[in-house]
Amino acid sequence: MIKLLLIFLVLLFCSLIPVLLIKQRFSEIVEKDAVLLVQTAARLIELQVVEKVKNSSGLSDQIPDQYVNLAKKVGGVFLYDEHLKKVVVCIRKEQDVQSTLVSLNGLSAPVVYFVTDTAGKIVATSEVAGIGETLSGIITVQETNKVFKTKYKGHSVYAYAAVNPVYGFYTISCVQTKDIFWQLLFPVLLCICIALTVLLIIFQDYYRTKLLSIAESLEKLSEGSTDVRIKDRRISKIVDQLSENIKRKDRILRKTAQELENLKQTLEKIREKKS
């Protein structure tokens, strides 16, 4: 058991060396892929929102005048209206203002994403979050047009936030960071455990055969056989010593028996002379 433990520790140490050497390289690759993914996803969501705005039809008569007046002053409005339950989009075109109501259902991306209006209210998301709620407290946007690390639901994530230059809405995408070390170590440990299991089976079979051979040899020795061969050196030495002791005692017994026989014959001769 101690030998198996030592073998396991040696194999574990030897396996950790290559894992640690390649961890850095794999981590860099994973990080680059995550950065590219969140940037691409944010751009994808932005294009889908712009497409929905362009394909939205009319309904300008339902838009309150306050949005139109605000668009005339600042050039554009992209705000969620609590009563209409839609996004109001107003863009100033020279002296005129083009207005429409937009529903942002059906957006899709391979990451967690949020779309907020210019006031920071959520207007579309892949998560279970109330439309019209503020993004503050859910995820912290540290900077725009640059990938950054932040926390989301207690996990570290790579995030990217972008602002649409025409409508002013925000798209935020994020993906959870991964520790590649454990993903590399698990298959290595699995292979080591399988190898140790195979070794244990081989050792068990080897020692079982060895014990059976020793038991058979001892049985022959107990029956008086002198032609006994044991492969294990230590056991063989013990058996040889035991065999030699038996032979020595046998010689002593034969010698004693012979001496007793001689003594008996001498006593008989003495009796004959006396008689």
Predicted confidence at residue 123, as pLDDT, reads 93
- Dump pLDDT digits (tens) for 126-169: 987 778 888 888 888 888 888 998 998 888 899 999 999 989 99
Task: Please give the DSSP secondary-structure letter assigned to residue 61.
Answer: G
Cβ neighbours of 228 (radius 10 Å): 16
Distance CA 164, CA 76 (A): 12
Q: Residue 173 class from Cβ within 10 Å (0-12 exposed, 13-18 middle, 19+ buried)?
A: buried
Phi, psi of 111 (to 5 degrees): -135, 175
Distance CA 202, CA 198 (A): 6
Task: Please give the DSSP secondary-structure letter assigned to residue 60.
Answer: G
Nearest to 175 by CA among 153, 200, 156, 191: 156
Decide: helix, strand or coil at residue 141.
coil
Distances (CA, A) of 79 to 47, 123, 131, 167: 18, 9, 12, 10
Q: Please count the CA atoms within 13 angstroms of the CA of 63 that sit on its side-chain side.
A: 27
What pTM, to 2 d.p., does this model score?
Answer: 0.59
- Dump pLDDT digits (tens) for 103-112: 888 898 889 9
- Give per-10-residue mean pLDDT for the chain (275 aa): 60 58 57 86 94 78 84 90 89 84 88 92 87 86 88 90 92 80 61 71 72 67 59 65 73 81 78 71
Distance CA 136, CA 83 (A): 22
